[in-house]
Amino acid sequence: MTDTPAPIDTKTFWRTLGERATGMTIVTAQGEEGPAGFLGLSATHVTADPPTLLVSIDAKTSALGPVLAKKHFAVNFLPAEAGHVADAFSGKAGLSGADRFLAGEWEPLATGAPTFKAALGVFDCVVDQVVERGSISIVIGTVVGARSAGAGEPLLFFRGKTLAGFTPPAA
């Protein structure tokens, strides 16, 4: 039997993870004190039967409390022209709390979580399970509402930079 190798260092982890382009999302919830949200790069599907998503939320993120307390969250896929929204929710614009929602127009779907009206797609979820791993809460939710724009280009994150749009290769 061989020994289990030690994990890689954090710097190597983030540098290597940065080689994967990912769509930029805003994860939101409606809390007691108003809307809450953050820029999420780790939202993904779990299964289609039943429709299930997961998001990873850092313990320091102010939106974690409302997600856990209200047992819901929405995942908003940002369009290429929503760089200002990504900046608002990442902290680059100097906004915090409910002031982040001044960047764009928002409306609730099934759970009451705010959804970005101009999003390419939105999933509205109820929390089913929370898995704690280090400083992260992996929140798994069943999709109870969805909206798709059916057109538009995504806002992407790649190698630490925001990329507006994606042009698929010619067939």
Token pair 């020994």 in the structure block, residue: 3
- pLDDT for residue 163 is more than 90: no
Distance, CA of 87 to CA of 100 (rounded, Å): 9
Per-residue pLDDT at 165: 65
Give the length of the chain.
Answer: 171
pLDDT in tens, 16-30: 877 778 889 999 999
Per-residue pLDDT at 171: 54
Beta strand pairing call for 155-158 and 22-23: antiparallel
Q: Once rounded to an integer, what is the mean pLDDT over residues 74-91? A: 95
Which of 125, 93, 118 lies closest to 28 in space, CA to CA? 125
Mean pLDDT over each residue of the chain, to the nearest integer: 91
**Domains defined for the chain, CATH in brackets:** 23-157 (2.30.110.10)
pLDDT in tens, 38-78: 999 889 999 999 999 999 999 999 999 999 999 999 999 99
Which of 43, 47, 53, 42 lies closest to 17 in space, CA to CA? 42
User: Quick check: 75 and 40 in contact, CB under 8 A?
Assistant: yes
Per-residue pLDDT at 26: 97
pTM of the model: 0.90
